[in-house]
Amino acid sequence: MTKLPQLTDCRIVLEDGVGTLTFERDDVRNALTSTAIAPDLLGVLEWAADASEISVLIITGAGSAFCAGGNIKQMPEMADMPPHALQHSYSEHLQRLPRAMQRSGVVLIAAINGPAIGAGCDLSMLCDLRIAATTSKFSETYINLGLVPALGGPWLLQRLVGFQRAAELVLSGRMFDAKEALDLGLVLAVTEPAELLSRARELAMNIAAKPPLAVRYARQLLRQGQTQAFGEHLELAASFQAICHKTADHREAVSAFIDKRKPEFAGR
C-alpha cells in the first residue's frame, strides 16, 4: 500500500478501495480560496492516479457547509491585481483543480453535506456522482458578485440539466435546495444528514467491488464521451477493451462466472 498524502486542511481515510476526503475548514465554510483545500485535493488526485488500492474517492465537508466557493473577504485584494495577473492566477492555479478532476483515474462521488456555493457548486458538478443531504443548498452565485463562473460551471451544468435550465441558474444566481437539485437531475439521491456518508459509501463500495482497471477505463470513456465524436469514442473504446481483455481480472471475472463463485480481483 502506498503512503497516504500529507494534507493541511483536509483529512483522508482509505478503506476497501474507497477513499473519503473531508474538507476541514468549517471556520470559513470550507472555502477554496484562503485555505489549502484546493492544493490538498490536487495532491490526493495526483496520489490516486498511481495508487492501485483506490477505485473511488468520496468528497465531503466537515461542519455546516460542503464548500462555500471563494472567500469573499479576499476579493477586494484580487480586484487590485492587473487583469493579466488575475487571468494567470486562475488558469495556473484554481483551474488546475477542474482539469485534474476531469482526468481523474478514480471515480469521484460528492457527498454534499451542506451548501455548495459558487466554486463549491462547480466542485460538486466535477464529481461523477452526487448525493446530497436534505440540508444542502446550491447556487452559481458568481453573477450576484459581478463575476462569471471560472471553474467550468456553465459547461458542466448544461450537460447535467440542459441549456435552458442551466442558463436560468447561471444568469439568476439564485439558491435552490436539495429537492430541486434532485428534480433537475443534478444529484442522484437526497438523504437525511446522518445517512449521507453511509449512502455515499454504499454506492462507492458497489463500484470499488468491480475490477479496478475496468472501472478506471470506463470512467475515462464516460468523460471522453462528453466531447468526442461518436467514431472517435468507438475507437477509444476498442483500444480500452483490447487492454481489458488481457487483464488477469477479466480472466478471473469470467472464471468466477462459470464457476458460480464470487470473483477476487487483483487490479491487474
72 and 203 inside one domain: yes
Contact residues for 32 (Cβ-Cβ < 8 A; gap 6+): 38, 67, 69, 70, 71, 94, 97, 119, 120, 123
Question: For residue 92, what is the DSSP state?
Answer: I
Residue (of 169, 188, 170, 168) closest to 178 by Cα position? 188
113 and 191 inside one domain: yes
227 and 150 inside one domain: no
Asked whether the beta carbons of 63 and 5 are under 8 A apart, the reply is: no
76 and 121 inside one domain: yes
| Strands 10-15 and 56-61, sheet pairing | unpaired
Rounded-to-integer distance, Cα 169 and Cα 156, Å: 12
pLDDT at residue 112 tops 80 = yes
Give a yes or no: residue 249 inside a domain: yes
185 and 222 inside one domain: no
Where does the pLDDT of residue 219 fall: very low under 50, low under 70, confident under 90, or very high at 90 and above? very high
187 and 250 inside one domain: no
Give a yes or no: residue 5 inside a domain: no
61 and 121 inside one domain: yes
pLDDT digits (tens, 9 = 90+) for 134-179: 999 999 999 999 999 989 999 999 999 999 999 999 999 999 999 9
Alpha-carbon separation of residue 183 from 79, 161, 190 (angstroms)? 37, 10, 10
Mean pLDDT along residues 20-33:
96
Which pLDDT belongs to residue 13? 97
What CATH number corresponds to the domain at position 155? 3.90.226.10
Asked whether the beta carbons of 166 and 154 are under 8 A apart, the reply is: yes
19 and 140 inside one domain: yes
Asked whether the beta carbons of 8 and 1 are under 8 A apart, the reply is: no
The range of the structural domain enclosing residue 242 comes to: 212-259
60 and 165 inside one domain: yes
Percent pLDDT > 70 in the chain is 100
189 and 121 inside one domain: yes
Give a yes or no: residue 4 inside a domain: no
17 and 126 inside one domain: yes
